[in-house]
Amino acid sequence: MYKTIVVDKQGSIVLVSLNRPDSLNAIDFVMREELKKAMFSISRDDEVRAVIVRGNGRAFCAGGDVTTMGLSAPNAGRKRLRNIHLVYKTLMTMDKPVIAAINGYAAGSGLALACACDFRIAAKNAKFAAPFINVGLIPDCGALYNLPRLIGIAKAKEITMLGQAFAAEKALELGLVNRVVEPEELDAAAMELANDLASRSPVALALNKSIINRSFELDLDSSLDYEAYAQDVCMMSDEHKSAVAAFLEKKQKK
């Protein structure tokens, strides 16, 4: 079905593997379109409770495919970016938690891809970089939106304006990743987290994600109003009603 990615649905969990290992999973035109199609489909699938994004081979994603850069007509860059933005925006706004399992390089738009996920687990051999400045560009694919929110303005400027690579332990120290594991443990750690998330209320997870994603834009009153609305929705959900019933039954047995 796909040429550059592998989509594997395992019950309520979907694994999306970037599959251009010879190019360190660099994103070319074909992968961009396939990711866009796959992410849209996953976002609409009510059976899916968690998503894992990973890379086959020696890298998570080394960024955009340099061999295809410069091939666009003048002024086509804006259209091209708006197209790939749909991939990143879908990841950030879908009502399912998304986990990035990061092995090897996560550079450029590959770093942005990891930042667009809700959780990031890195192998000890992972390397991160935003090297756009080294070729006279600015970070794209939402990196300038997500990085300051994840690690703060000062560190985001340092990473993006100097373009220096850094290791997984540094990413953990910055708060960019949630956890660092041995390379051979990466897939299992991501699946363990996905199963944990899949066992929780999808309504609560979706609303939790939505409110946090908007927390920097909402004023206090608007945030509290959104919270009150969301909590009301959660209280009417089957998951909440079942949890309350189980708690009361357990209490009565004591």
> How would residue 65 be classed by pLDDT, with cut points 50, 70 and 90?
confident
Structure tokens, 159:
């990473």
pLDDT (mean) for 61-83: 71
Q: Specify the pLDDT at position 253.
A: 73
Q: Specify the pLDDT at position 165.
A: 97
Helices 202-213 and 220-235: crossing angle in degrees, nearest 10, is 170
Q: Specify the pLDDT at position 80.
A: 75
pLDDT tens figures, 129-167: 999 999 999 999 999 999 999 999 999 999 999 999 999
Q: Specify the pLDDT at position 69.
A: 60
Task: CATH number of the domain at 233, please.
Answer: 1.10.12.10
Domain finish residue from 198, 226, 245? 198
- 233 shares a domain with 190: no
Pairing of strands 98-102, 105-107: unpaired
The closest alpha carbon to 35, from 26, 48, 24, belongs to 26
- 206 shares a domain with 194: no
Percentage with pLDDT > 70 across the chain: 94
The closest alpha carbon to 63, from 125, 117, 143, 124, belongs to 143
How far apart CA 85 and CA 79 sit, in angstroms, is 10
Instruction: Look at residue 178 and tell me whether its pLDDT is greater than 80.
Output: yes
The closest alpha carbon to 52, from 114, 140, 125, belongs to 114
What is the Cβ-side half-sphere exposure of residue 142, based on CA atoms within 13 angstroms? 24
Total structural domains in the chain?
A: 2
> How would residue 70 be classed by pLDDT, with cut points 50, 70 and 90?
low
Q: Specify the pLDDT at position 115.
A: 98
Range of the domain at 13: 5-198
The closest alpha carbon to 115, from 141, 83, 153, belongs to 141
pLDDT tens figures, 193-252: 999 999 999 999 999 999 999 999 999 999 999 999 999 999 999 889 888 888 887 777
Residue 167, H or E segment = strand 166-167
- 247 shares a domain with 215: yes
User: Which burial class, exposed, middle or buried, applies to 40 when counting CB atoms under 10 A from its CB (0-12, 13-18, 19+)?
Assistant: middle
Q: Specify the pLDDT at position 250.
A: 77
The neighbouring-strand residues paired with 7 are: 16
- 248 shares a domain with 142: no
Q: Specify the pLDDT at position 78.
A: 73
- 208 shares a domain with 183: no
What does pLDDT average to over the chain? 93
- 215 shares a domain with 149: no
- 208 shares a domain with 102: no
Q: Specify the pLDDT at position 230.
A: 94
How far apart CA 13 and CA 51 sit, in angstroms, is 6
The arrangement of strands across the sheet holding 98-102 comes to 5-10, 13-18, 50-55, 98-102, 119-123, 179-181
Domain finish residue from 159, 182, 198? 198
Q: Specify the pLDDT at position 81.
A: 80
Instruction: Look at residue 179 and tell me whether its pLDDT is greater than 80.
Output: yes
